[in-house]
Amino acid sequence: MTALEGANGLHILMTADAVGGGWQYALDLAGGLRPHGVKTTIAVLGPAPSADQQATAEVAGAELIATGLPLDWTASHQGQVNEAGQAIASLAAQIRPGLVHLNSPALAAHARFSVPVIAACHSCVATWWQAVKGGPLPEDFKWRTDLVRRGYASADGLLAPTRAFAQATAEAYGLERAPLVVRNGRRAVQHPTHARSDLFAFTAGRLWDEGKNFSAIDRMAAHLSIPVLAAGPLQGPNGAQVEARFAKSLGRLSDKEIARHLGEQPIFVSAARYEPFGLAVLEAAQAACALVLSDIPTFRELWEGAALFVDPDDDRQIAEAIERLVRDADARDALGRAARKRADTYSVEAMSMGVLRTYESVLAGESRTSSIEGAAA
């Protein structure tokens, strides 16, 4: 039986939130699974999706259910997460999907599902703290980490977007086997590419997240000969916030608005200290933008040979790398072409087929996880 044959006619209940990159992942996956006969219902936790997000979900063929349940990483106590998990389990019992795909593994910690559960390891506070802060976890993170550990143990299969993050997850939670690696893909937003005369640098994401290290980009912007534009919210739902003093903040933009900026082929920069994958980088690469990225394991794994790598804690080095590309248009164009070529390998179809194979394996009752070696789709 092939993955396609095993999943044909399958109904998936997937959880997602409309706050970060997990939203794009859920919709791209739903759209990629649809041609293979898989129906996806997305239970949305946290803030309700915006009008443009709802429109994108409609195009992907996903049915949205706004639950109003709290996000696990913004919950004030463990009971809220447990109740949310039980509510998702009750929803699954009502709509009777063939499989549940949790993009928040903590929801499986104390909930009982009557169908197999896939948990996607997109990020977690334990690996975030290790990469951004270091040292012992604060009390507020300990119970969250315990819920994620219990969720991983309860799931029938685990997915991670990179080998680097799969390994970090296995080490953080003492897993006997690392999660199966299925690299993320991103639906390319069609927009005419036209480099504009006034070159600029561009970054995008949850700017308020300390792991994105936007403060380094903002400081660096004061020393550049070109402007730095930043797309994304400066304040998060958990109360975290950051200032934009030298970079120009654009606020939250729709996919099309971001594509318009990327279509002008700016130099894309990310100084992230923590990034399990980085969908914003992939979007920039799809638009043939030259990439200047922090030298962290995930970016090295994904973009080695197709980006310039810099120390995320060295503002001067980041600025110098960008200025070299400002002065050398040929090098900038060559780097952009290399990025676009690499981006072609991280397609929605490749991601969807990797996830389909995982669904098939779990539905057939096979091993819940796989080793890192040879696991990447």
Q: What is the CATH number of the domain that holds 117?
A: 3.40.50.2000
User: How many angstroms separate the first and last alpha carbons of the chain?
Assistant: 18
Cβ pair 205, 234 in contact under 8 A: no
Pairwise pLDDT comparison (369 vs 338), residue with the higher score: 338
201 Cβ neighbours under 8 A, 6+ residues apart: 221, 224, 226, 227, 228, 229, 266, 267, 268, 269, 292, 322
Please check whether residue 192 lies inside any domain of the structure: no
Residue 180 falls inside a structural domain? yes
Name the domain count of the chain. Answer: 2
Neighbours of 153 (CB within 10 A): 15
Predicted local distance difference test score (pLDDT) of residue 371: 39
pLDDT tens column, 172-210: 999 999 999 999 999 877 655 565 569 999 999 999 999
DSSP letters spanning 20-31: SHHHHHHHHHHH
**Residues 289, 279, 301, 367: is their CA dihedral positive or negative?**
negative
Average pLDDT, the chain: 92
- Does 213 lie in the same domain as 130? no
Residue type (1 letter), 100 = V
Q: How confident is the model at residue 255 (pLDDT cuts 50, 70, 90)?
A: confident
What φ, ψ does residue 249 adopt, rounded to 5°?
-80, 130
Structure tokens belonging to residue 92: 């699954």
pLDDT band (50, 70, 90) for residue 52 = confident
Provide the CA 56 distance to its chain's centre, in angstroms.
Answer: 17
Amino acid, single-letter form, for residue 171: E
pLDDT at 195: 55
Q: Look up residue 50 and give its amino acid.
A: S
Tell me what percent of the residues of the chain surpass a pLDDT of 70.
Answer: 93
Q: At 82, list the tokens.
A: 């447990």
| Residue 60, CA distances (Å) to 6, 38, 285, 288 in order | 21, 12, 22, 25
Q: Categorize the per-residue pLDDT at 77 as very low, low, confident or very high, splitting at 50, 70 and 90.
A: very high
- Considering the domain architecture, whether residues 17 and 150 belong to the same structural domain is answered as yes
Q: What gap in Å lies between CA 364 and CA 259, rounded to an integer?
A: 40
Length of the chain as a residue count: 377
Distance from C-alpha of 165 to C-alpha of 135, rounded to nearest angstrom: 19
With 0-12 / 13-18 / 19 or more C-beta atoms within 10 angstroms meaning exposed / middle / buried, residue 26 is buried
**Same domain, yes or no: 353 and 246:** no
Q: Does residue 294 lie in a domain region?
A: yes
- Host domain of residue 259: 201-343
Q: Are residues 157 and 40 in the same domain?
A: yes
